[in-house]
Amino acid sequence: METVVSGIRPTGNLHLGNYFGAVRNFIKMQHDANCYFFVADYHSLTTHPHPDNLNATVKQVLAENLACGLDPEICTLYVQSDLPETAELYLLLNMLAYTGELERSVSFKEKIRKDPDNVNAGLLTYPVLMAADILIHKAAKVPVGKDQEQHLEYTRNYVNRFNYLYGVEYFQEPFAYNFGGQLVKVPGLDGSGKMGKSEAEGNAIFLIDEPEVIKKKVMRAVTDSGPTHMNQPKEVAIENLFTLLKLVSTTETVAHFETLYNNCTIRYGDMKKQLADDINIFIAPIREKIKAIAADEKYINKVVKMGAEKARQSGRKTLAEVRNIIGIRSFF
């Protein structure tokens, strides 16, 4: 079975866009590959989260992903900092990472543009840490979006430099795990792009949103003044509402509102009410599961411990071999 590694950013709560995007594919993938999923808490330090919040954030991320269906008995689910071997591999890989190359990284340039007062070396070497995450388990595939392709390319560079420098065929080049057509793009509620892309208040429906919150967000979604002639093409904002409806409602409901739109008798208020109800029906079981898991300290602890043990088994082996190849040999 192929080994797959992916990091989960401990920033913010999961929304419907995450669910129909990466998360649902992780759930499927765990049955088809030897999967390592981890909460990337080391990475999150580049933006200096408050020490009082870090642990709770990591726990919430774990609870949400478990509630969606990540099965810690099937995959390896761990916290990045519970595998400190990653940090040592990161140090070793830094010697193969060229600063010029790192400075040319698209995401680095984007980050310094957004936050010019916090250009720390951790930010610059973010791709090296990501390479360490991947190589510590010698993964073949990494399920990442387009924005992470360049990081994967850097990982392949380090693989080739390592193998060349030490004259070995030790690491293999990892490639993106392609979900193909299975990635569903969920639009946001503000009438523009993808859910979660814009920070606009109310743009995303989170899996933890209560019914009243869902209703408020959906009722505020952008619409137009309504169709004025039969079979009028839909504005983007309206198309987005229909896309959401298709994800959570029955085909009858979708067909019903399509008909009303096409004969110009649609009342967006009615459609939004239905959409809010159906989103809630879809989310409710996940939301309740998130709450139950987050409240079950013992269960979370068990999951994290089991994950750490499985991850260390793989990580320690790799690191020992890498140290040996490099020539780091203990004197005692």
| Residue 197 annotated among the catalytic residues of the structure | yes
Q: Which of the residues 118 through 177 are near ligand TRP (CB under 6 A)?
A: 130, 133-134, 142, 144, 148
Give me the least distance between CB of 332 and ligand TRP, in Å please: 34
Give me the least distance between CB of 303 and ligand TRP, in Å please: 20
Rule CB under 6 A: is residue 244 a binding residue for ligand TRP? Answer: no
Q: Which of 59, 114, 146, 197 is catalytic?
A: 197
The 3 state secondary structure assigned to 100-169 is: HHHHCCHHHHHHHHHCCCCCCHHHHCHHHHHHHHHHCCCCCEECCCHHHHHHHHHHHHHHHHHHHHHCCC
Residue 42 or 242 having the CB closest to ligand TRP: 42
Q: Which of 59, 111, 215, 272 is catalytic?
A: 111
User: Which of 3, 4, 6, 204 touches ligand TRP by CB under 6 A?
Assistant: 6
CB atoms within 10 A of CB 16: 27
Rule CB under 6 A: is residue 40 a binding residue for ligand TRP? Answer: yes
Residue 85 CA to residue 5 CA, distance in Å, equals 15
Residue 133 or 209 having the CB closest to ligand TRP: 133
Rule CB under 6 A: is residue 7 a binding residue for ligand TRP? Answer: yes
Give me the least distance between CB of 151 and ligand TRP, in Å please: 6
| Residue 291 annotated among the catalytic residues of the structure | no
Q: Which of 141, 185, 194, 234 is catalytic?
A: 194
Point out the residue whose Cβ comes nearest to ligand TRP.
Answer: 7
Give me the least distance between CB of 195 and ligand TRP, in Å please: 16
Contact residues toward ligand TRP (CB under 6 A) are 5-7, 9, 40, 43, 130, 133-134, 142, 144, 148
Task: Give the residue numbers marked as catalytic.
Answer: 111, 194, 197
